[in-house]
Amino acid sequence: MAAATILAAVINLYLEVIRWLELKRNHMRTFLVFLLFLFPLAAEVEKTLSIIKPDAVKAHHIGDILSIYEKNGLEIVHLRMVHLSPKESAAFYEVHKDKGFYQELVDFMASGPSVAVVLKGENAIAKTRELMGAKDKPGSIRALYGTSVGENAVHGSDSKENAVNEILFFFPAT
Ligand code: ADP
Ligand code: MG
């Protein structure tokens, strides 16, 4: 009789443990589904500044480059063609004033009209940098339309803070 009671208690305990584990598993599943639904909300909508530089404007690639941005889910919310003066060019690239290529960069950016655009979309800052690519990244804007380290077709803000400041530089009214 005692043996039967002990056996029943052990079986009961076993079933309790199984039930508890099931419950945990169900909770885990609910939690994962919840995370899955939250995921799209985590991709933040941002704005960034891109410049189609004078080399790409001269080579008639404005449309090609804007098209790459649009096809990749970036919305053009502001756009302006602007021929930077040497002073404006120097101010925009002031962070690089101690670099050896600074004067060359300033002269290049003032050498002809550029097109400044504000792009909006999920993770727009990183997405734009990704699409711009390094010179040797096949398919990237710089690989397609850049011609050298300096004349590399496009600029893109590299941080949230720079995006805000650079957008204000070209679109002070926004
Ligand atoms: P990125 O535009 O990829 O952020 P950097 O911030 O390092 O690159 O440089 C700013 C710009 O300066 C580049 O896009 C390019 O036009 C120019 N530049 C960078 N390195 C050189 C170089 N070695 N010689 C000439 N121009 C350069
Ligand atoms: Mg940079």
pLDDT at 5: 76
Q: What does CATH list as the number for 45-170?
A: 3.30.70.141
Q: How far apart, in Å, are the Cα atoms of 94 and each of 54, 67, 86, 98, 109? A: 18, 30, 12, 9, 13
Residue 163 CA to its chain's centroid (Å): 11
pLDDT at 40: 61
Q: How far apart, in Å, are the Cα atoms of 160 and each of 49, 65, 166? A: 10, 22, 10
pLDDT at 33: 73
Ligand with an atom nearest the CA of residue 109: 1
Q: Report d(CA 51, CA 49) in Å as an integer.
A: 7
At 66-99, the pLDDT tens digits run 999 999 999 999 999 999 999 999 999 999 999 9
- Does the beta carbon of 104 sit less than 6 angstroms from any atom of ligand 1? yes
CA of residue 40 to ligand 2 center, whole Å: 28
Length of the chain in terms of residues written: 174
Q: Where are the domains of the chain?
A: 1-42, 45-170
Supply the residue whose CA is at minimum distance from atom 25 of ligand 1: 150
Supply the residue whose CA is at minimum distance from atom 13 of ligand 1: 150
Supply the residue whose CA is at minimum distance from atom 18 of ligand 1: 150
pTM: 0.80
Q: Give the residue ranges of the chain where pLDDT is below 50.
A: none
CA of residue 155 to ligand 1 center, whole Å: 9
- Does the beta carbon of 152 sit less than 6 angstroms from any atom of ligand 1? yes
